[in-house]
Structures are given as structure tokens and as C-alpha cells.
Amino acid sequence: MELIFIGLAAVALISGILVVFQTHPLRSALWLIVNFFAVAGIYLMLHAEFIAAIQIIVYAGAIMVLFLFVIMLLNLRHPEEPTPRPYAAQKVAGFALSVAMAFFIAFGLAHVNLGPAAPAAPGLGNTESIAKLLFTDYLLPFEVTSVLLLVSIVGAVVLSKSKLK
């Protein structure tokens, strides 16, 4: 079982590295889709079947398709220009600061006292327990996210108009 996790984690990490260091955004988008599939596989191992399916449908199937649409719409001829000289130090600083931040976060996470893991409780399946919480305790955020999606749709339509009358 650990071997499956190590395989999925390796796929996720390698595709993540490839997302950051590709020249063309199209290749980055495809490697990001691989990353999402690997993380969805890890969700399946963590007893989160509903979220794994939602991740594949929404993240890899809708958001990344939107990305691919826009990338092909823009139709860039020269994907990445060579970096002008003043930005080399900026890139080194960005890399170093991100690694330092990762170490700080890992240090903080290692020194937290979580308490014992909860015992496995038999009962509802994953989708039923999510639905049970979603429509009782989290009803207000659920309705608010529908308003949020409406706002984003209106914003996307307004921003895509060619001439603002």
C-alpha cells in the first residue's frame, strides 16, 4: 500500500516540477493535468472518494480545459522570451525564499501536537456523509458559493466583451 502512495507522490512531484520549468504554457497545462490525476489517486487512498471524483471532473476536466482553451486562443508564437539580465538575481531569490518558506512550514508542522488519530467509524459512505454535512452545518457557505459563481460568470462575460458600450 505504501508503494502505491510513493508512486503517486513521485508522479505528483515530478509533474509539479515539470509544470514550473516548461517553456510553453500548453505543456505546463498538460503536466498539471497529470498532477491533478496523481493527487486524485492519493485522495482515493485517503478515503475521500467523492472529492477525488470532483477533483477529476472539476479541476482536471473543467478548469484545465478552460486553461487550454485560453492558451490556444492566445496562440502565442514565442512562448517564453529569454530572461533579461537583471532578473537572474530575482529568480535565485525567489527560489531560495520558497525553499526557506517550505522549511519553515515543515518545521512548524513537525512540532505540532495533533493528538491521537481517531478510530475508524463505520457508517455512511463518503458521499452521504458529505451531503449530510453540506446541507445542514454548511448550508450558508453552500448558498454563498452559488452567489460567488454567479459573480464570476458575470465578471468573465463582462471582461470578454470586445467593446464596452
Which residues within the stretch 38-77 sit at the binding site for another protein (CB under 8 A)?
Answer: 39, 42-43, 45-48, 50-51, 54-55, 58-59, 62-63, 66-67, 70-71, 73-74, 76
Angstrom distance (rounded) from CA 132 to CA 140: 14
State which of residues 98, 135, 139, 143 lies at the interface with another protein (CB under 8 A): 98
The residue within the footprint of another protein, chosen from 111, 120, 140, 165 (CB under 8 A), is 120
User: What mask, x for binding another protein by CB under 8 A, covers residues 140 to 159?
Assistant: -x---x--xx-xxx-xxx-x
Q: How many helices (H) and strands (E) does the chain have?
A: 7, 0
3-state secondary structure (DSSP) of residue 1: coil
Identify the CA nearest to 47 among candidates 114, 117, 112: 117
Total residues at the site for another protein (CB under 8 A)?
83
Question: Which of 17, 72, 139, 143 is in the footprint of another protein by CB under 8 A?
Answer: 17
* CA 140 – CA 1 distance, rounded (Å): 38
11 binds another protein (CB under 8 A): no
Q: Which residues, at least 6 apart from 8, have a Cβ–Cβ distance to it below 8 Å?
A: 38, 39, 41, 42, 45
Rule CB under 8 A: choose which of 7, 72, 80, 135 binds another protein: 80
